[in-house]
Structure 1
Amino acid sequence: MNQSFMKHEFIIMSKSKKNIIFIIFLTALLFSYCFFILPNEQTSESFDPQKLSYELEELSVEQKKREEDGYTGINVMTGVPVYAMNKYYYKLHSNLITAFEDQDFTRFVLLRTHYLEGNMGSIIGNPTLFPESPFPGKDRKHLYQQTLLRYQGYLDKDLPISYALIEQKTALQTLQKFLLSSASYLIIFCAVYFSSDIVVRDRQNRTILQGLPLSWYRVLNIKTIVAFLYTIIVLSVLLIVGMFTVSLQSGFGFFNIQMPIMIARTGTSFNDYDSITIFQFIVKAMIFIPILVYLFTRLSVLLSLLFKNEWLVLLVSTIVLFSERLYYSRTLREIFGIEVSYFPQTYFEFGKVVSGDKNFLVNLDTITYVKGIIVLMITIVIIEGVLYMVSRIINKRRFYQTN
């Protein structure tokens, strides 16, 4: 009976117009990103040789003027050897253009790394980076150190470097960026959306379903398992399709790419960073997905018993999902005297938890991978306890009765 009921529930979910429309929307969103947004996206490491050539032409004219006027020494007022610095800049960036045009991206990374090591201000002093951040200097230094560590990782592993790898557009790097972004909320929302009606829809077939030879709590458990598996399958298929599509355009990437992570919250020096492979990051981040999918599926079942309305279930679950956005601030570390690391919603952006960026953003050391797993598991236990008690109060007969 259990298997028959599971099969019945899975067929209903698969044929649901609501679910089919949402999957079509997700597929369209995925292909729009893969074919239109990603290929044209300008990252912090995108290189425009034409624009740089114009800049070097102007610099060449300026240098010739300085030579004609005899201003090739140190500036008396500032003590800065402008001519020598411009000469160095011109030569290095001319070589960058040559390396780019020759498709010699290993040399390109070497030159870029050499330049950044001696010119921290090219990133830290760039006012166009993080203009709306409350701590732009801190964020720019974080970006500077991450960039150098990432480049060094490419060189240490002796990878066949491509331009897509530099721009972080290979399939694995695209997945990494997705998991690090707020787009991770979309993964959890899929669980919210697919599970919002799994219990409530049965109220339209009271006579048939009230006669099932299964206990009420077991029915709720089976519905949870089916919704969980359905969500995981949909997410897995979309992931495979997305990875395959990006791979055709930019390559798959390499599992041993070194990814910088934070081991201290400040990010003031390279000692605050460590590195893991992109494979390790993806595995750790992926472990959060089934936990969160199960948590929100179970929450939907609980809310279904309480509200008996799928739209209210969807609304309340969505509010819970985005609840951190209601109070989030980079200066807020406690809520009602309780540190934010003890709240489950702190770990909904799970990629940032794995990379240590969550600690960096709110200036804490306590938002860790292990603690995130523990907090979410405790939350599941609490929901399970409440659901069991509510299912005893709102039993099958009471749930199906008309108001």
Structure 2
Amino acid sequence: MKAYFKFELSQFIKNKKNIAIYVILIFLACFYAFNIAPSYKPIEKVDAKEIEARFTSREAFVLKFLNDPNRFQGMASSGLFIYPKWIELDKKRLEALNENKLKQYASVTSKWYIYSNEMTYKSNMFYYSPGYYTHGNLYAMEDGYYGYSYSASRYAGYAEGTPKLSINVFEERTALQTLQRLFESYLPMILMICCIFLSVDIVLKDRWNPSLLTGFPISDWKKLLVKGFVALIGSVGAFIPISIGLLFIGISYGFGDFQLPVAVYSFVGEPSYFKKGEFLNTTMGMYLLQNFILLTLLFALIISLVLLASMIIRNEFANLVVGAIFIFNEIFYFKRGIGFFEEVENYPTNYVQVGQILSGYRNYIYNSSALTFDKGVYVLGISTGILICTYFRH
């Protein structure tokens, strides 16, 4: 079996298609590092001029109406009640930035986001940062609430933690924070698509050179397990090209720290329409480790599906279709809030966006409390085990 493993691994490494996939990944990683990462514009950025403009305009409003006999009427009354604390917090933020006291800035900014959320959510007077309202977003208020709560939690973590702080850390531009953002975006899907292409022909290629296999007297199901393991190693190896791009980002913006706080959204008790959850901080190291574990389980499940399709249909295009259906199946039933009525946590396809699962964002938009790391490991592990057991019947 060891000799067969070496044989399959050698064929996998020498496969021109597989080499091309890794080359494409290296190109995409470098393109991202040199073209997309520098143009990243966070919705919640550190902008002293913006803070000063907001502080100045609100201070001028308060000074204008403070001694006005009509100050208790209309908008003036609301502004005089709400603005003073905002002015105080923005003033402290500016002072901390000017004096380069980043821990102090983080502490005050956390309080600013908490207060701003309280004043803005479900309000007809104030709005969240403009970035939440782009592209006709019908859920801008909900996304703004999530974004401000997320920022309040991570800034509180910065103020309490030990990692070295910088503007790049605040704006999540460092290499590790970029990886975090990518996990919560399209990176998991890109890696899973690569997994499909890497494993799509690992069984069907044997029909081109059947004589080579006569020297390995092992059962068919053992051959399938070896092939699956080789494909899994190759899929996990796709992180190597990605790390090249992160290396360049780290040189430009810093590498970050595995102790950096990552805000994770969770419900206390059962969620409802009127009840919101809360953010708790975990470490960057733990967050990335959990992403890696869930992605590895997803690779194993996809490879198991492809191997089973190879045994039944014996067509590479069919293998691609089967894998694609698994990755994109969620779009057929996705709807915000559906988690309150459906047990979406039991669908393996719901764990494709691993970063959003672990950050709690999927729980937030699904209105669920069960899409967690532990549940993901259980569902994906059981699903993969069931598929592997079917090999013994063929």
Band of TM-score, shorter chain: 0.7 to 0.9
Structure 2 match to 1:330: 336
Q: Residues 24-35 of structure 1 correspond to what in structure 2 (within 5 A)?
A: 24-35=23-34
| Offset, 1:303 | 0.9
Q: Which one-letter code corresponds to 1:282 in the other structure?
A: L
1:365 paired with 2:369, answer yes
Per the alignment, in what secondary structure is the counterpart of residue 43 of structure 2? coil
| Offset, 1:344 | 0.8
Q: Residues 192-271 of structure 1 correspond to what in structure 2 (within 5 A)?
A: 192-209=196-213, 212-235=216-239, 237-264=240-267, 265=271
| Offset, 1:135 | 3.6
The 1:249/1:306 distance shift into structure 2, 3 A limit, reads same
Provide the rounded CA distance (Å) in 2 between the counterparts of 1:348 and 1:256: 26
1:343 paired with 2:347, answer yes
Per the alignment, in what secondary structure is the counterpart of residue 330 of structure 1? coil
CA contact (8 A) 2:249 2:255 kept: yes
| Offset, 1:199 | 0.9
CA contact (8 A) 1:59 1:90 kept: yes
Per the alignment, in what secondary structure is the counterpart of residue 74 of structure 2? coil
Q: Residues 3-402 of structure 1 correspond to what in structure 2 (within 5 A)?
A: 3-50=2-49, 66=64, 74=71, 76-80=73-77, 82=79, 93=90, 96=93, 99-100=96-97, 103-120=100-117, 124=121, 125-126=127-128, 128=130, 129-130=132-133, 132-209=136-213, 212-235=216-239, 237-264=240-267, 265=271, 272-333=278-339, 339-390=343-394
| Offset, 1:272 | 3.0
Which of the two has higher C-alpha Rg? Answer: 1
TM-score of the superposed pair, with normalisation by structure 2: 0.84
RMSD after superposition: 3.3
The 1:174/1:374 distance shift into structure 2, 3 A limit, reads same
Provide the rounded CA distance (Å) in 1 between the counterparts of 2:306 and 2:282: 36
| Offset, 1:323 | 0.9
CA contact (8 A) 1:304 1:310 kept: yes
CA contact (8 A) 2:202 2:227 kept: yes
More divergent stretch after superposition (106-115 vs 255-264)? 106-115
Q: Which one-letter code corresponds to 2:371 in the other structure?
A: I
| Offset, 1:103 | 4.2
The 1:57/1:358 distance shift into structure 2, 3 A limit, reads closer
| Offset, 1:73 | 7.5
The 1:21/1:272 distance shift into structure 2, 3 A limit, reads same
Percent of residue pairs identical: 22
Unmatched 5+ stretches in structure 2: 122-126
TM-score of the superposed pair, with normalisation by structure 1: 0.82
Unmatched 5+ stretches in structure 1: 391-403
CA contact (8 A) 2:117 2:149 kept: no
The 1:22/1:341 distance shift into structure 2, 3 A limit, reads same
Matched residue count? 384
CA contact (8 A) 2:188 2:295 kept: no
Deviation digits for residues 352-392 of structure 1, max 9, x if unmatched?
Answer: 222322221111222232222111111112211223223xx
CA contact (8 A) 1:10 1:226 kept: yes
